[in-house]
Amino acid sequence: RCGGSLRTLYQAATAGDDQAVRVWDWQTGAQLYQVIEEPERVYSVAFSPNGKRLLSGSGDSTIRLWDVQTGEQLRTLEGHTGAVTKVAWSPDGKTLASGSRDSTIRLWDVQTGAQLRTLEGHTGSVNSVAFSPDGSALASGSGEPFVDDNTVRLWDVSTGEQLFALKGHTSGVLSIAFSPDGKTLASGNNDTTVQLWDVQNGAQLRTLAGHTGPINAVTFSPDGS
């Protein structure tokens, strides 16, 4: 589906507090190689849509781009002034997004490494970023203790304009995901709820309650049901 080699399609990447990014064969569980040992914690990793590149966001405020087949570092992207907590690829693989504890989201050109724009509006750490399925919009989630943000924001990727600030959570937003058709956004946070939002008008559709702790990850099923 990703258009990469068979080897690439069976790879997974992980990162954590040991400052390393590791690539695995998820069928056998074998570690294929360790891509890097960074100077600080690695918060986020993401494969490119074709599976040939890997992106990592680090506590040293940088984003690094890697060749998946060789483990070679292709580029280091610098500009954030706080830890990079989340990274994401646009669906066409041409644009990168990064969220940081400096309260900004930055968009980058994959080919040149140039920073395209900075999205500003959050007042707390940006904990999550996600492109819409068609790549036209970007969602971000923010919040941290003692900072009154706790919002999900929608942005126009081509202009950097903020489309909506979605308010409803009572503590930091930790995770966000678009539905496969791009019409609905899910967000999870520290207040133990998941909120569903209408992407077209920013309306809150539903609250899903039941968890008793922070919601660190949300995802839709492939058919969106």
- Among 99, 107, 67, which residue's Cα sits nearest to residue 83? 99
pLDDT given for residue 90 in this prediction: 98
pLDDT given for residue 36 in this prediction: 61
Going residue by residue through the chain, which has 225 residues, state the pLDDT in tens, using 9 for 90 and above.
233 333 445 677 777 677 677 777 777 777 766 666 556 788 999 999 998 999 999 999 999 999 888 888 899 999 999 999 999 999 999 999 999 999 999 999 999 999 999 999 999 999 999 999 999 999 999 987 656 688 999 999 999 999 999 998 888 899 999 999 999 999 998 889 999 999 999 999 999 999 999 999 999 999 999
The one-letter code for the residue type at 133 is P
pLDDT given for residue 15 in this prediction: 72
> By three-state DSSP, how is residue 7 classified?
helix
Q: CA-to-CA distance for 206 and 190, rounded, in angstroms?
A: 17
pLDDT given for residue 28 in this prediction: 77
pLDDT given for residue 126 in this prediction: 95
The one-letter code for the residue type at 131 is F
Q: CA-to-CA distance for 120 and 106, rounded, in angstroms?
A: 9
Q: Residue 101 is encoded by which pair of tokens?
A: 């504890």
DSSP 48-84: -TTSSEEEEEETTSEEEEEETTT--EEEEEE--SS-E
